[in-house]
Amino acid sequence: MKFTVVIDNYCAKSGMLAEWGYCSLLETEHGNVMIDTGGTGHVLRHNLDFLKIDLKKVKALVLSHSHHDHISGLLDIVFSCPGIPIYAGKGIEIERRGDADASRRSG
């Protein structure tokens, strides 16, 4: 089993892009699972290419919650992996707000 952080707000590897967001890949003998999709599609695509991650080997996508920094690369994955199963908890469709006073959209 191998766990790779694809997107985070800190990069330990030169050449990757950091952003306020999260995406990781869990590789197992039964298939690969992507967890979240980061905050922007271009950072997701750049880091996937840099890490040489083949999206054709991703068998499922898990979304932790609907904040923009966890789901904004969703369409990039859906278009690259048509028919990929997507798993998410109850309430994923609820709009999230980014401020304590709920003034900014966040997801």
To which residue do tokens 């304590």 refer? 100
Domain ranges (residues) in the chain: 2-88
Question: Measured between alpha carbons, how far is 77 from 96 in angstroms, rounded to an integer?
Answer: 21
- The arithmetic mean of pLDDT across residues 70-77, rounded, is 92
Mean pLDDT (the chain, rounded): 88
Q: Residue 73: exposed, middle, or buried by beta-carbon count in 10 A (0-12, 13-18, 19+)?
A: buried
What's residue 97's pLDDT? Answer: 61
Cβ-based neighbour number of residue 97 at 10 Å: 13
Binning pLDDT at 50, 70 and 90, where does residue 68 land?
confident
* CATH no., domain 2-88: 3.60.15.10
Instruction: Reply yes or no on whether the pLDDT at 107 is more than 60.
Output: no
- The arithmetic mean of pLDDT across residues 49-60, rounded, is 95
Question: Measured between alpha carbons, how far is 3 from 76 in angstroms, rounded to an integer?
Answer: 21
